[in-house]
Amino acid sequence: MRPPSDARTALVATLVLLATSVSAACSSEPRAPTSSVGAPKGVATAPPSRSAAPDLATSAPSTPSAPSATAPPEPDEAAPAAAAAAEAVPPKPAFTATVSAIGTDLAARMTPTSWREGCPVPLSDLRYLTLSHRTFEGGVATGELVVHADVADEVVKVFRTLFDAGYPIRSMRLVDDFGGDDDASMAADNTSAFNCRPVAGTDRWSEHSSGRAIDVNPVENPWVRGTAVAPPAGAGFVAREPAPGVILPDDVVVRAFAAAGWSWGGAWESPVDYQHFSTTGR
Ligand SMILES: [Zn+2]
């Protein structure tokens, strides 16, 4: 209501300038040390800090806009509030994802390990996804999956939900890194999707062959039939006691996939496939 005096206006301008320059410094700061970190130590913690930096940088610009809008009426409170807000907001890691077609290099990487002539779907029907995920160590990493083009966007949504819920994933690499060998991928506790292969012990194509099935943390969520357990390291998780990575009925993982229309192999009678989600329920 009260018109600000010239001195007040000058003060406001100074504070706004100060706040802006402080914020600008904050937003550019994380990039400098990150890019200059060339030391080989701390390899495990480097990816989380790298992915945290862009988020801090992108969220920072919203901070100066608030004080500059509110500064004129209440300059004495706005500036300290801006400083406090900048200090109070922790660098929250952001979920990021990409969806792309199977390019020439990737096609070469996938052939003939996970894909070959005669598979139910052509490479042009598949998509390559990169997805942020939480690690068991409390960090953030980027994984990769190949899925059917029809489900690519909903799979991104599922993994965004898992990320936001803090659900950890051990490893998320293409099965081609394991020679297309599902047993080797499972033994490495690797989360994966597309793999053109028959259902074990049958001549029927697995749902993984169309990129419409995903196996999540296979060690914590093994395949079980009678006394048979795959991978063998999953034997310690057959009892289904709550633990990091263990998927339980109606938990955040099951609900995230269900929201996309996917069903869980953990609900099967025999075999029970706790790691397996698919669009068809097979
Ligand atoms: Zn599966």
CA nearest 279: which of 219, 193, 165? 193
User: Can you give the pLDDT at residue 129?
Assistant: 98
Ligand 1: centre distance to CA 269 (Å): 15
Percent of the chain exceeding pLDDT 70 equals 68
Say yes or no to pLDDT of 41 above 90.
no
Domain residues of the chain, as ranges? 6-36+43-88, 97-278
Say yes or no to pLDDT of 33 above 70.
no
In angstroms, the CA 145 to CA 175 distance is 9
In angstroms, the CA 86 to CA 66 distance is 11
Question: Alpha helices of the chain — where are they, by DSSP H?
Answer: 6-28, 31-36, 46-59, 62-70, 75-88, 104-110, 152-165, 182-187, 252-259
Ligand 1: centre distance to CA 275 (Å): 6
Say yes or no to pLDDT of 101 above 50.
yes
Percent of the chain exceeding pLDDT 90 equals 65
Say which range, 14-23, 192-201, 245-254, has the weakest mean pLDDT.
14-23
Say yes or no to pLDDT of 265 above 80.
yes
Ligand 1: centre distance to CA 94 (Å): 28
pTM, full prediction: 0.69
User: Can you give the pLDDT at residue 92?
Assistant: 75
Beta bridge partners of 278: 213, 263
User: Can you give the pLDDT at residue 199?
Assistant: 86
Ligand 1: centre distance to CA 95 (Å): 25
For residue 90, name the pLDDT band (cuts at 50, 70, 90): low
Say yes or no to pLDDT of 10 above 90.
no
Say yes or no to pLDDT of 69 above 80.
no
Unique residue bearing structure tokens 């080989």: 40
Average pLDDT over every residue of 262-267 = 97
Say yes or no to pLDDT of 195 above 80.
yes
Ligand 1: centre distance to CA 67 (Å): 51
Ligand 1: centre distance to CA 213 (Å): 6
In angstroms, the CA 68 to CA 61 distance is 12
Q: What number of other Cβ atoms are within 10 A of residue 233's Cβ?
A: 16
What are 211-244's pLDDT values in tens digits? Answer: 999 999 999 999 999 999 999 999 999 999 999 9
Strands 263-264 and 276-278: antiparallel
Ligand 1: centre distance to CA 282 (Å): 9
Ligand 1: centre distance to CA 137 (Å): 25
Ligand 1: centre distance to CA 276 (Å): 4
For residue 201, name the pLDDT band (cuts at 50, 70, 90): confident
**Cβ neighbours of residue 78 under 8 Å, at least 6 residues apart?**
15, 67, 70, 71
For residue 80, name the pLDDT band (cuts at 50, 70, 90): low
User: Can you give the pLDDT at residue 86?
Assistant: 59
Ligand 1: centre distance to CA 250 (Å): 19
User: Can you give the pLDDT at residue 59?
Assistant: 39
Say yes or no to pLDDT of 87 above 70.
no
Ligand 1: centre distance to CA 222 (Å): 10
Ligand 1: centre distance to CA 44 (Å): 28
Ligand 1: centre distance to CA 56 (Å): 37
